[in-house]
Amino acid sequence: MNAATTTDDNPADILCRADDIAWIGFAPGIDYKVLRTSAETGTWTVMFRCAKGSEFPPHYHHGAGEYLMTKGVMDYRAGTAKAGDYGYEPLGVYHESTRFLEDSELLFTNHGPVAFVNPDMSIQMLLDWKFFADAAAQQKAAA
């Protein structure tokens, strides 16, 4: 047999109707939609919806991240991003906290895990492709 093997269930092309995907709760004031995950590369792409006053706790990027703000205002170490702004977060960067100053939405892709850390820098929670793949599978099963 000449069967090709793949380590990734994702098809080559994806056209995702994001408006048809329900939000999933993540933390107080923060929800997400899973647009794509890759077991092969560890990349995950989501939409985050973050209410005014919500925030992501301190974290390390164990993979570079990219975002496009589509609504609102986000304040973090690199500055204040507002709707229309793009940002790149390099591998290894540490963010003390990421706060949302208005009701916000952003498209976010991370090329690896994000680790939320305790004050002593031990890992509290790992956010990776598997976390989002499992959440999307649970959502699909419940629909």
Instruction: Give the binding site for Zn ion (CB under 5 A).
Output: 95
Structure-token pair, residue 81: 């991003």
Beta carbon of residue 29, minimum distance to Zn ion (angstroms, whole number): 17
Beta carbon of residue 117, minimum distance to Zn ion (angstroms, whole number): 11
* 92/11 Cα distance (integer angstroms): 29
Beta carbon of residue 89, minimum distance to Zn ion (angstroms, whole number): 5
Instruction: Compare residues 95 and 99 and give the one whose CB is closer to Zn ion.
Output: 95
Beta carbon of residue 31, minimum distance to Zn ion (angstroms, whole number): 17
* CA triple 58-29-44, angle to 5 deg: 60
DSSP classification of residue 23? P
Q: Which residues pair with 117 in a beta bridge?
A: 123
Instruction: Compare residues 23 and 94 and give the one whose CB is closer to Zn ion.
Output: 94
Residue with smallest beta-carbon separation from Zn ion: 95
Which value, to the nearest 10 degrees, does the dihedral of the CA atoms of residues 119, 41, 142, 56 take?
A: 30
Instruction: Compare residues 11 and 90 and give the one whose CB is closer to Zn ion.
Output: 90
Instruction: Compare residues 93 and 139 and give the one whose CB is closer to Zn ion.
Output: 93
Beta carbon of residue 1, minimum distance to Zn ion (angstroms, whole number): 45
Largest CA distance in the chain: 57
Instruction: Compare residues 95 and 130 and give the one whose CB is closer to Zn ion.
Output: 95
Match 């999933």 to its residue by tokens.
24
Three-class secondary structure of residue 38 per DSSP: coil
